[in-house]
Amino acid sequence: MKIAVLGTGDVGQMLANRLLTQGHAVRLGSRSTTNDKAQAWAAAASGDAGVATFADAAGWADLVILAVSGVHALSVVDAASAGLDGKVVVDLTNPLDFSKGFPPTLFVSNDDSLGEQIQRAVPGAKVVKTLNTLANPLMLNPALLSEPTDILLCGDDAGAKGTVVELLQSFGWASPIDLGDITNSRGLEAWLPLWVRLFGALGTPMFNLKLVRQ
């Protein structure tokens, strides 16, 4: 698959490298193709790897992964919007506001969510929210934990969710749980205020939730 990863930070590069390893073609998107981190990544990457602007990377791709800080999510989506029509957009972001310190608050919550704001910003795209609920290293390697845990997703488009479920399964998530339409981002993002406190109490970000039933 042709996958654009928007964002040149740790999460973006980690994802890009893993996707290359899995045989996908990857374009790392940034605001400018002269971005130092993107250039360094491309120079070191093996496989069908390249650098492009947000819009060019999105326009080239079959699937776009939004891997930037929540505070930049809408501006990056806006910059990429010319390439996003009809595309599956995997939204990993969280609306974390660290301006008042730790633990952060959310800059959108309760009766709206960043996932919904992104979908509204690019109504022609098929936004699927997932992987926002756990630490970066666990996104691609759930087996780092001592037993299988759960990953959740939501979005309006059933076909897009099917594509994302296959991608998640390729990362090792056996049975992703579909919460329904994109308004369920409110629930996925509400996990963060609890997650940051569990991080504090457990003394590690290397944990995830397992949903236990009867």
Write out the residues near its own copies by the rule CB under 8 A: 103, 105-106, 109-111, 144-147, 149, 152, 177-180, 184, 186-188, 190-198, 200-202, 204, 206-214
Identify which of residues 56 and 189 has a Cβ nearer to its own copies in the complex: 189
Cis, peptide link before residue 103, omega less than 30° from 0 = yes
Using left for φ > 0, alpha for ψ between -120 and 50, and beta otherwise, residue 198 falls in alpha
Identify which of residues 120 and 210 has a Cβ nearer to its own copies in the complex: 210
User: Residue 153 is encoded by which pair of tokens?
Assistant: 């997703």
Angle, vertex CA 174, rays to CA 172 and CA 180, nearest 5: 115
Nearest approach, Cβ of 43 to its own copies (angstroms)?
33
Nearest approach, Cβ of 213 to its own copies (angstroms)?
5
Residue 96, classed as helix, strand or coil, is strand
**What is d(CA 81, CA 164) in angstroms, rounded to the nearest whole number?**
20
Closest CA to 190 of 131, 103, 106, 129: 106
Nearest approach, Cβ of 200 to its own copies (angstroms)?
7
Nearest approach, Cβ of 154 to its own copies (angstroms)?
8
Identify which of residues 9 and 172 has a Cβ nearer to its own copies in the complex: 172
Identify which of residues 59 and 142 has a Cβ nearer to its own copies in the complex: 142
**What is d(CA 37, CA 112) in angstroms, rounded to the nearest whole number?**
33
User: Residue 107 is encoded by which pair of tokens?
Assistant: 């800059």
**What is d(CA 124, CA 34) in angstroms, rounded to the nearest whole number?**
29
Nearest approach, Cβ of 49 to its own copies (angstroms)?
31
Identify which of residues 46 and 110 has a Cβ nearer to its own copies in the complex: 110
- Backbone phi, then psi, for 88, in 5-degree steps? -80, 125
Identify which of residues 21 and 175 has a Cβ nearer to its own copies in the complex: 175
Nearest approach, Cβ of 91 to its own copies (angstroms)?
16
